[in-house]
Amino acid sequence: MNITDNVPHAAGGLAAVIADLEDVVQQYVNLVTAQLGAWSSRPDGTNIVEALNWITFDIFGELAFGESFNAVENGETHQWVSVLIDTVREMSLVNMRKRMPIMNLILPFMVPSDLGAKLAAHWAHTVAMIESRIAKKDTITRTDFFLNILESGMMEEELLQQNANILIIAGSETTATALAGCLYHLMHNDNCLATLQKDVRSAFNRLDAITGDATQKLPYLHARVEEALRIYPPVAFGLQRVSLVSSQNWTISHDERYWQDPDSFQPERWLNQGLGDNRDAFQRFSLGPRACTSINLAYLEIRVILAKMVWQYDFELLSKDLDWERDSMMHVLWQKPAMNMRFLPRADFGS
């Protein structure tokens, strides 16, 4: 985000605006939760890490560009999204030059030879998506992430394209990462999962009752989301360019000076007085004028997706040897391992 356009962008992240967009979120959440049961019939189940990327990118495509990537419907990652994720990972090598100039000596041997072609393909698709969104300016009447900017006329098309580059990855991949981390830790903490199941299933008697407002009233659900964001922050590194102060989110979130037993997944630390932690050390969406403007959308998606999964299915983890922290790699964003799961209709549905 550029600090000069924080007002138009911020309008897209206001709680009232996000509430108006919930129908889009619900549409894609319902689609993916319906698909999970069918996908789980495969011998190797569902790679939920990949499926979560499908849904969050589809939602953000609709809310930013007025069109979905159709990843959930097709059951596969859109080509542009694949290129985007690969490019972000590989560009982390290039960005290391600013932190460690000695990298200039070995960087040519580390950067993939096709990086330039990937960047060109990614940029061409970004330009096409923005041009398509501008062409729809008079036909899309609901508020979305670009409506206020387009109506204000404050931003040139080139700057729109540059911001779209940031928006699509920041508003999609990070939410999917938060959900994947949450599911992993729930699958390795039976008591936490059982309590969450009881909390969600007792609060709702039908699937369509699970809304953004309704999930805000479930403190145990919120506690699990906060703990997942703490123990596995989607953006784990600090600021870079011309930064006077930078903080490492993952390091702070695992620092014993601020957290009791910091490496353990304990959602109870977010209930009432908690465990005596210093919660001021938890800034999952950053601070100041460059803080994430999509915090309300992120929480809406995470709460509704997780609640509907928990309400509708019992979970089975198939990737028995997976160690989330060991098998994840940080390249600006997390490069996450596959996590195969099976989603089975609730055992108590018959009763």
The average pLDDT across 10-34 equals: 78
Residue 9 has pLDDT above 80, yes or no: no
Contact 270, 223 (CB under 8 A): yes
The average pLDDT across 2-7 equals: 47
Contact 249, 286 (CB under 8 A): no
Q: pLDDT-based confidence at 246, cuts 50/70/90?
A: low
- How high is the pLDDT of residue 95? 65
* Structural domain count, the chain: 1
The average pLDDT across 60-85 equals: 87
Concatenated DSSP letters of 232-260: S-SS-S---TT-SS---HHHHHT-TTTSS
- How high is the pLDDT of residue 142? 74
Q: pLDDT-based confidence at 49, cuts 50/70/90?
A: very high
Q: pLDDT-based confidence at 262, cuts 50/70/90?
A: very high
* Separation between Cα atoms, residue 1 and residue 217, nearest integer Å: 31
Residue 342 has pLDDT above 50, yes or no: yes
- How high is the pLDDT of residue 140? 77
Is the overall model pTM greater than 0.85, yes or no? Answer: no
Say which DSSP state 307 is in. H
What are 291-317's pLDDT values in tens digits?
Answer: 777 788 899 999 999 999 999 999 999
CATH number of the domain that 311 lies in? 1.10.630.10
Q: Left if phi > 0, otherwise alpha if psi is -120 to 50, otherwise beta: which for 82?
A: alpha
- 292: which 2 tokens? 């994430």
Residue numbering of the annotated binding site: 292
What are 74-126's pLDDT values in tens digits?
Answer: 999 988 888 877 777 666 666 666 667 776 777 677 667 777 787 788 888 88
Compute the Cα dihedral for 112, 114, 120, 121 and give only its sign: negative
Give the range of the structural domain holding residue 176, as residue numbers without chain letter. 3-350
Residue numbering of the annotated binding site for heme: 292
* Separation between Cα atoms, residue 173 and residue 61, nearest integer Å: 12
Length of the chain: 351
- 330: which 2 tokens? 């940080």
Compute the Cα dihedral for 137, 141, 142, 143 and give only its sign: positive
Residue 3 has pLDDT above 50, yes or no: no
